[in-house]
Amino acid sequence: MIRVSGVSKSYGYVQPLKLISLDWSEGEVLGLVGASGSGKSTLLRIIAGFMPPDSGTITIDDVTVNDPAILVPPNDRGVSMVFQSPELWPHMTVSENIRFTLLDRSKPLQDQRIDELLRLAGLAEHRDRLPGQLSGGEARRVSILRALAPARRYVLMDEPLVNMDLELKAEIHRLIKAEARGRGVLYVTHDAEELEGFAGRVLHLRGGAVDG
């Protein structure tokens, strides 16, 4: 389980997060809906370890990763994150971008996992392309594959379908459903319809606070 307890964050006079508390377990998909600027991305980055909260505590499987005296680095949290923008390494090919997350496995197992994911995403013929040679939708799929490849127990998804047409949204949503099954997923979006048939619970982030 990931538990967020009393987390707050301010930027000058703006406080997007005010004593946020929520939790979700391995195997659960929790949806979090909020308008642009409501603090959704800030919350995900704090949980992932990319920024500290001003106050509050985060525990992952009963291990404290954030409190006033502790800040566990992102790589040591057992959490993957899908960002709004693809965030691919431009000098690496598609397969190399994914392989970078699998370095704890033998090369044959890396190859097997990469092949499996590229087939699932319809990108098998793109494995040797650089990010600059991909369309926006293709790059988004690769970024999702890279986050899902290590099969970590928890996945954070920051508006993974933003700025996509309906056909591409449906395609990528199928990919996420297929690969995220059985993991603890926190999926944030401004569009509640994206969560239909996917999230077991849906919370709303309004005015810096979370409600059901």
Q: Map residue 140 onto helix, strand or coil.
A: helix
Chain mean pLDDT for the chain: 89
Alpha helices in 11-106, H assignment, sequence order: 40-48, 94-99
CA–CA separation, 186 vs 15, rounded Å?
22
Q: Quote the pLDDT of residue 50.
A: 92
Q: Report whether CATH 3.40.50.2300 matches the domain 1-78+155-168+182-212.
A: no
pLDDT in tens, 116-147: 999 988 899 999 999 999 988 889 889 989 98
Pair type for strands 154-158 and 79-82: parallel
Q: Residue 107: what pLDDT?
A: 94
Rounded to an integer, the average pLDDT of 37-55 is 92
The per-residue pLDDT for 193 is 87
Taking each helix axis from N to C end, the angle separating 166-180 and 136-148, rounded to the nearest 10 degrees, works out to: 10
* Tokens of residue 128, six digits: 């040797």
Share of the chain above pLDDT 90, in %: 54
Domain extent listing, the chain: 1-78+155-168+182-212, 89-151
User: In this structure, are residues 173 and 166 in contact, taking their beta carbons and an 8 Å threshold?
Assistant: no
78 near 152, Cβ under 8 Å? yes
pLDDT digits (tens, 9 = 90+) for 157-203: 998 887 777 877 787 788 787 777 788 999 999 988 888 888 889 99
pLDDT at 212: 65
The arithmetic mean of pLDDT across residues 49-54, rounded, is 91
